[in-house]
Amino acid sequence: LLDKLRDKSLVVAGGFIDGKWNTVSSRGKVFRVANPATGEVLAQISDLSTHATQVAIDAAHKAQPGWAGKTAKERADLLKKLHRMMVENADDLATILTLEMGKPWAEARGEVLYGAAYIEWFAEEARRVYGDTIPGHQPDKRIMVLKQPVGVVGLITPWNFPNAMLARKLAPALAVGCTVVAKPAAETPLSALALARLMEWCGFPPGVFNVVPGTDAPAIGQELCANPKVAKISFTGSTNVGKILMRQCADDVKRMSMELGGNAPFIVFEDADLDAAVDGAMISKFRNGGQTCVCANRIYVHADVYDAFAEKLAARMKELKQGNGMEKGVDIGPLINEKAIEKVVELLDDARSGGGEIALGGKRSGDSLMFEPTLLKNADKTMRIAREEIFGPVAPLFKFTGTDEVIELANATEFGLASYFYAKDLSKVFKVAEALKYGMVGINTGLISTETAPFGGVKQSGFGREGSKYGIEDYLDIKYLCISV
């Protein structure tokens, strides 16, 4: 790992707590981080747990009033510095990310710049946390509304975007004066620790940003949820774990933001520009090897264009080069672990037994974690693949004929994160956009994520928004002052 980096000090093997590295280890226990493309062990990281989490929370709690007491410009200046450092170190951060997570290096670099864009955005937003004045309800009353940081925030992030998922939470939190205890996924702690290293170099005060890496996620999560010094939890991950965290946060009515699972429909209407729809499907389905919560999970194609679309998509899928993300020209890396492979195999077995036809791919390569880009035709709503998040490079095609029919099919899920459709007719575009029960709708595009727009879901995909002017509200409490004059 180290020989591939310009700056080797970006790799750290312990937690970052109260401005110090490796201060608390639970009896010297360590865990391994391995490259999913090769199995090679990249690093051994101190395996922290409840005690370290408590120490980190105490540090964040102690640092919070001082951090909130700085001017917005002072906080913004540090965040801008962090943004610059992320951009300057983007190559190294991308290498660390690809090695621990597997995505192609160019995509990893894109993720780092995407993460950095949130830091820049919220550095800018820090100075625009405006309150309000409201006409009084009585002649002698004046009403003023303040927005204040919620306090210490616990961030729990997944492995699929080890840099950006953390960046887009920590940026608004720090911008408004919250302090942070972050728990990265055990598969990919190195990106979070590299970010902490950059923040150390930027000169963020000790305790403002803490990272607790560890394999005992339930113990760390439990402490973050139960500790009264933590005001809020922001989580990105599976709906099941999200529900556990909500239950754990119920006792002290903790604030929460939840970015949970998705089951994105991708609808191709009969009047769609088919080539554009294929481009969109490729990016929405195969970015990160199909391992994003906004990946197209069910591709509905109008019967009139079904065969033509399937043929064009298959042709493009055949061009995908799969392999080690560090190699040039690789479009698609490995899945994250054995469990992910098993899930994809199970979903395909189930689809096959229900009449699905594998038109392309369908198996793993040898005993590696590479799973071939797979086209599944004749998918239908009775299959598990229609209900569950695939999180792999499998594109299931469903056939439909009516607009109302496809809207109903698309909404027939407990999830409501991203959705996509391709159509030209303006009245249909608005009808479908308004009828889809999703937090995000890509219309004639397969790529919707940007720091300037509110990312988030409805239904069991969660609540709260990340990015845009809305994203900062998740880290603010409203206080109203009633003043008698």
CA distance readout (Å), 290 to 34, 425, 433: 20, 29, 24
**Residue 219 vs 274, nearer CB to ligand ADP:** 219
Nearest to 298 by CA among 405, 402, 376: 376
CB 145 to ligand ADP: min, Å? 34
The reply to whether 244 sits near ligand ADP by the rule CB under 6 A is yes
Alpha-carbon Rg for the chain, nearest whole angstrom, is 23
Catalytic residue among 187, 259, 372, 389: 259
Residues 6+ apart with CB under 8 A from 279: 446
Should residue 156 be labelled a site residue for ligand ADP when binding is judged by CB under 6 A?
yes
d(CA 459, CA 440): 12
Q: Total residues at the site for ligand ADP (CB under 6 A)?
A: 14
Strand partners, 21: 16
Q: Is 237 in the site for ligand ADP (CB under 6 A)?
A: yes
List binders of ligand ADP among 197-226 (CB under 6 A).
217-218, 221
What string of H, E and C letters represents the secondary structure of 235-253? EECCHHHHHHHHHHHHCCC
- Which residues have C-beta within 8 Å of that of residue 88, sequence separation ≥ 6? none
Kindly state whether residue 157 participates in binding ligand ADP, applying the rule CB under 6 A: yes
Minimum distance from residue 234 beta carbon to ligand ADP (Å): 11
Q: Which lies closer to ligand ADP via its Cβ, residue 221 or residue 471?
A: 221
Stretch that binds ligand ADP, among 4-12, 153-161, 344-352, 420-428 (CB under 6 A): 153-161
Based on the shown chain and the rule CB under 6 A, indicate whether residue 15 belongs to the binding site for ligand ADP.
no
Q: How far apart are CA 255 and CA 173, in angstroms?
A: 13
- Find tokens 């599944």 and name the residue: 376
Q: Which is nearer to ligand ADP, 97 or 272 (CB)?
A: 97
Of the candidate residues 116, 190, 230, 241, the single one contacting ligand ADP (CB under 6 A) = 241
Stretch that binds ligand ADP, among 3-11, 152-160, 423-431, 466-474 (CB under 6 A): 152-160
Q: Is 456 left (phi over 0), alpha (psi -120 to 50) or beta?
A: left
Residue 186 binds to ligand ADP (criterion: CB under 6 A): yes
Q: What's the min distance (Å) between Cβ of 188 and ligand ADP?
A: 9
CB of 76 to ligand ADP, least distance (A): 28
* Residue from 43, 282, 56 nearest 152 by CA: 56
User: Could you say which of 23, 38, 50, 238 contacts ligand ADP (CB under 6 A)?
Assistant: 238
Report the C-alpha gap between 415 and 296 in whole angstroms.
Answer: 13
CB of 483 to ligand ADP, least distance (A): 43
Distance of alpha carbon 416 from alpha carbon 430, whole angstroms:
18
What ranges make up the beta strands (E) of 124-263? Answer: 132-134, 141-149, 152-156, 179-183, 209-211, 230-236, 255-259
Of the pair 171, 182, the CB lying nearest ligand ADP is at 182
148 vs 215, beta carbon nearer ligand ADP:
215
Are 309 and 278 in contact, with CB atoms under 8 Å apart?
Answer: yes
Stretch that binds ligand ADP, among 238-246, 281-289, 342-350, 372-380 (CB under 6 A): 238-246
**Which residues, listed in sequence order, are joined to residue 476 by a DSSP beta bridge?**
149
Instruction: Quote the least distance from Cβ 98 to ligand ADP, whole Å.
Output: 18
Q: Using the minimum distance from each CB to ligand ADP, give the nearer residue, 388 or 425.
A: 388
Using CA atoms of 41, 44, 49, 55 in order, give the dihedral in degrees to the nearest 10.
-140
3-state secondary structure of 227: coil
Considering only residues 394 to 433 of the shown chain, the ones binding ligand ADP according to CB under 6 A are none
SS (H, E, C) 259-305: ECCCCEEEEECCCCCHHHHHHHHHHHHHHHHHCCCCCEEEEEEECCC
Q: Can you tell me whether residue 112 is helix, strand or coil?
A: helix
Least distance between ligand ADP and beta carbon 329 (Å): 28
Residue nearest to ligand ADP (CB): 221
Residue among 104, 154, 158, 189 that touches ligand ADP (CB under 6 A): 158
CB of 355 to ligand ADP, least distance (A): 29
Q: Which residue do the tokens 């597997």 mark?
A: 102
Provide, rounded to whole angstroms, the least separation between the CB of residue 156 and ligand ADP.
5
Judged by CB under 6 A, the stretch of 156-164, 170-178, 449-457, 459-467 that binds ligand ADP is 156-164
DSSP, collapsed to helix, strand or coil, labels residue 114 as helix
Closest CB to ligand ADP among residues 97, 278: 97
Judged by beta carbon, residue 245 or residue 313, the one nearer ligand ADP is 245
338 is catalytic: no
Q: Which residues bind ligand ADP (CB under 6 A)?
A: 156-159, 183, 185-186, 217-218, 221, 237-238, 241, 244
Residues with a known catalytic role: 259
